[in-house]
Chain A
Amino acid sequence: MRKLRLLVLAVTLSVSLFLWATPEAVYADNATESELSEITAQWKTSAHALADVNCSSCHQDQGSKAFVAHPNNESCRTCHEAETDTFLLGKHGIRLLEGQSPLTPSKARLAMKPEAHSKQMNCNACHDVHSVDTYQASVDSCMTCHNDEHSLNYKNSKHSQLFLDEESLERPSNISVTCATCHLPRETSESGSKVLANHNNTYNLKPRDRMASEVCMNCHGMEYAFNSIFDNDLVKSNFARPPNIHLKSFDMIRIFQEKRSGK
């Protein structure tokens, strides 16, 4: 009798444990006619359509010709290799690289919008893959989830104004400053032939001198850039004012310079 009771208890606990640990369900597959025509219309005006990237380019296995309902980052990687590879190294993509479920904002340590907590981070999370609108991907997509002071203050910044002033172009130009400008910066390949948006969003966050030299100094002088990036309040305000700290390193360099030229 006691053995039976023990067994009942053990089985109940085990079953509840496995239920608790079961991964999330997948979504339904079939689209409706109206959803499909909406998607087709989005695609028709996208850069993908004009680059001859058709439905089958992503929704069909190139070998077996089998239909693929939900193409994943491997599909994007066929053409966007460097972007996908760098994405997988940053915080947004690292879980996918490590064979885990996609990152969701609920797992973040930074403040995230509660309504976005279950959103899964993959290519499609920021780039609506049917419209591939890099305007949306460069600011609005970030703001769907990010809810910290620095992110929320972007819209009041001078950087944001530069971006808003040119909204008629087909993609953010090379003089506007979006979230992506600093956090997924454009880099020229070694041969100089290709410009890549580095999707490893973690790469230039720390040490901060990397952000200063690789991003800020595309537009700002060195001292202005360093005095800004090392001012925590200024970073929080999303650079709402000129910097008012003065790093001692520059004084040391000046003294060094004077000594050297004095000899």
Chain B
Amino acid sequence: MASRSSKKRRIRDFFNIQIFIGGAVIFLLVWLIATMAMGTEQKTLFLPGVTSQGHFGFEANCSSCHEGFKKVSNENCSRCHEAELAEDKHGEKKFRDIRWAEDLEKLDALTCTTCHNEHVQMYGRGVHLQPDLCMACHQGIIEGDMTSHDGFTADGCWTAGCHNYHDHRSISTGFLYDGLDQPPMLPVQELPKIVVEAQLETAPNPDLKSEFLGGGS
């Protein structure tokens, strides 16, 4: 009997509160250090919020976008998004024009992160955007400057699919004007054709074999 109760006491003693707190602190420290050191898969611990649809696949890799604790730079975004910005209608070229240059004071339109915020839940499209972002400069459009747009809501310009801030190619008035009254099926329906030209008439003999069977070269 005596030995059993002393064993119980020993077990209770092992898990006393100080040990528990000490253990938890060490665990957290090791976790933090391990997370920093491993560098790739486990860094989700540091995510401040939900990552956007476009970026969540590599969200644990902070350095994809962040250089230390500096602000995310345009250069970083354009590492991947060159194609999306190929025809940037709100790019540098526009704001170098004296007619629009002053607008940069209303909104720093030349910095990606002015409009695109990561890790916050807003209207989802790629990296989160504020739905009424156009209003910084274009509020007049819905308030009488353009009768066709009278009474439109401030958050509808792009969320409704009508306007594309960067790329006007497939949404401009001219484009839409040209496409009116086209039939559902165009007269010619086809895509570019991929042609692969064979260089040999018959297949050659395979030039490796033993290597695949573990024989080495």
Partner of B58, one of A6, A31, A98: A98
Cβ-neighbour of A65 out of B83, B201, B213, B217 (below 8 A):
B217
* B200 interface residue (CB < 8 Å to A): yes
Contact check, B170 vs A210: say whether CB atoms are below 8 A apart: yes
- Check A60 for interface membership: any CB of B closer than 8 A: yes
Q: How far is the CA of A44 from the CA of B204 in the complex (A)?
A: 8
Q: Are A197 and B194 in contact (CB-based, < 8 A)?
A: yes
Asked if A94 and B58 sit within 8 Å, CB to CB, the answer is: yes
B176 at the interface (CB under 8 A from A): yes
Answer whether residue A109 sits at the interface, using C-beta atoms and an 8 A cutoff. Answer: yes
14 further A-B pairs in the complex, CB-CB below 8 A; given A33-B213, A203-B83, A252-B148: A2-B19, A29-B214, A50-B201, A51-B200, A66-B217, A95-B57, A101-B40, A186-B194, A202-B54, A209-B171, A213-B175, A220-B186, A221-B183, A255-B148
* Closest B residue by C-beta to A55: B208
Identify which of A10, A91, A107, A173 contacts B23 (C-beta below 8 A). Answer: A10
The answer, yes or no, to whether A143 is at the interface (CB within 8 Å) is: no
A67 to B178, CA, bound (A): 57
Interface residues on B, range: 35 or more
Q: How far is the CB of B216 from chain A (nearest CB, A)?
A: 7
Residues 198-255 (chain A) with a chain B CB within 8 angstroms = 200, 202-203, 206-210, 212-214, 217-224, 230, 242, 247, 249-250, 252-255
Chain B contact residues, CB within 8 Å of chain A: 14, 18-19, 22-23, 26-27, 30-31, 34, 38, 40-42, 53-54, 56-58, 60-61, 64, 80, 83-84, 125-126, 148, 158, 161-162, 164, 167, 169-171, 173, 175-186, 189-196, 198-204, 206-209, 211-214, 216-217
User: Does A123 lie at the interface of the complex (its beta carbon under 8 Å from any beta carbon of B)?
Assistant: no
Could you tell me which A residues sit within 8 Å of B by CB distance?
A: 2, 5-6, 9-10, 13-14, 17-18, 21, 23, 29-33, 36, 40, 43-45, 47, 49-52, 54-56, 59-60, 65-67, 89, 91, 94-95, 97-101, 103, 107, 109, 171, 173-175, 181, 185-188, 195, 197, 200, 202-203, 206-210, 212-214, 217-224, 230, 242, 247, 249-250, 252-257
A15 CA to B214 CA, complexed, in Å: 35
Min Cβ gap B166→A in Å is 9
* Chain A residue at smallest Cβ distance from B164: A207
CA distance in complex: A245, B126 (Å): 25
**Residue of chain A at shortest CB distance from B16:** A2
A103: chain B residues at CB < 8 Å are 57
From the candidates B26, B60, B200, name the one contacting A9 in the complex (CB within 8 A): B26
Q: Is the CB of A6 within 8 A of B176?
A: no
| CB <8 Å contact, A45 and B58 | no
A257 touching B190 in the complex, CB below 8 Å, given contacts A52-B204, A207-B164: no
Q: What is the CB-to-nearest-CB distance from A93 to chain B, in angstroms, rounded to a whole number?
A: 10
Please tell me if the beta carbons of A54 and B184 are within 8 angstroms of each other in the complex.
no
